[in-house]
Amino acid sequence: MDYHPKSDFLAVLIQRGFLADCTDIEELDEALRSEMMIGYVGFDATAKSLHIGSLTQIMMLRWLQKTGHKPITLMGGGTTRIGDPSFRADERPVLSTEDITANIIGIKSVFSNYLQYGNGNSDALMLDNSEWLNDLNYLDFLNDFGRHFSVNRMLSFESVKSRLDRAQSLSFLEFNYMLLQAYDFLELNRRYGCRLQFGGSDQWGNIVNGIDLTRRVLMQNIFGITSPLLTTSDGKKMGKTVGGAVWLNADMLSPYDFWQYWRNVGDADVGRFLKLFTELSIDECNRLAALKDTEINTAKITLANEVTRLCHGDTAAQAAAETARDIFECGGLGDAMPTISISIRELPISIAQIFVRSGLATSGKEARRLIHDGGARINDHLITNTGHMLDIDSYDSPLKLSAGKKRHVRVQFNDAGHI
């Protein structure tokens, strides 16, 4: 964006590549210099953890607080019951109240690693929109706010148009989502003085609706910022890998696997990700991104260390790095390597089944293909027989199971045995 901000927060967003669009940027820039801005991001509870697709917004909240302002993390206890249809090919599955509550508990745990919560002036707030949405009277809502929404305009948003062009129809339930998200912004402004909402670029229509509603009803001038959707240099949307989603919670994805994900990003992505997901200076990010050939691996290790440190803490980041060195430089079995336990009563067991149990393959068919293609190893020794059986007399415990050069699991034999 060709704008030279005077406020610290907008300067950070632009310099580090966070900013896609902004409403009334000059007025927002001035407000950020003259007052403590309260800003929020909403997170629907569709799983027990957020994945790295949400990390951009989390980092924006972190920078908001670091530059002297107040962040709000808004849990979507109410809106999750509907599901955001923005740019989705089909309708989200309906979750029970119990599932939503359990997911919120899981999601909340990650935020304290990035934000300072408490009673201080700029300390973050953790809120849940079920507080005002669950008891909302539908007829009163339509009477008070329905006239402020233009269906014509709502249909013009790309997030809606993309769904209307698909075979899967957009249900009236989903169509209401943008009304409720707009109402969230109004309520946050009314209750807490919140004047800024962040979101990915797919949230632009929802954010603009909230701004318009709040201006019409409360006569408040509020603002919206969107960030580019997180993609790799080849245009692929980030957040998932062949092995599944890159979760932020350690019980959903081990800190070692999280570290490995960042260690293995493409060369062309290193500089951008350093600016977005670490707090290294811009100069240092540029210096690391300029490294060539094998030296770029130094930058990738720095990226992995810094991102893992923020998400999981210094100890976990150090353990992951040490485990990686142990595995790749010494051929060892680092303590942070993902581990599964197999009961000796289950032995002998086929190698294909072990690959599935370990998560290194999603099915027996995929495991056999991995073996056939020369990607399966036990203790760094190639396995070529798809019918190979694992027996306690053949291997000492623990042993290292490898799928290719970068994915490893430690297998421990014991008397009980569970994953």
List the Cα angle 270/254/128 in 5-degree steps: 90
Render pLDDT for 33-81 as a digit per residue (tens, 0 to 9): 999 999 999 999 989 999 999 999 999 999 999 999 999 999 999 888 8
Spatial separation of the C-alpha atoms in residues 223 and 109, rounded to whole Å: 28
Report the predicted TM-score, pTM, of the whole model to 2 decimal places: 0.77
Q: Compute φ and ψ for 357, nearest 5 degrees.
A: -60, -35
From 55, 6, 41, select the one nearest 26 (Cα to Cα): 6
**Per-residue pLDDT band at 92 (split at 50, 70, 90):** low
Q: What does the block give as tokens for 171?
A: 């249900």
At 361 the pLDDT is 85
Q: What does the block give as tokens for 33?
A: 């210099």
Spatial separation of the C-alpha atoms in residues 384 and 375, rounded to whole Å: 9
Whether residue 143 is predicted with pLDDT greater than 70 in this model: the reply is yes
Spatial separation of the C-alpha atoms in residues 89 and 92, rounded to whole Å: 9
Render pLDDT for 216-254 as a digit per residue (tens, 0 to 9): 999 988 999 999 988 887 777 776 555 578 999 999 998
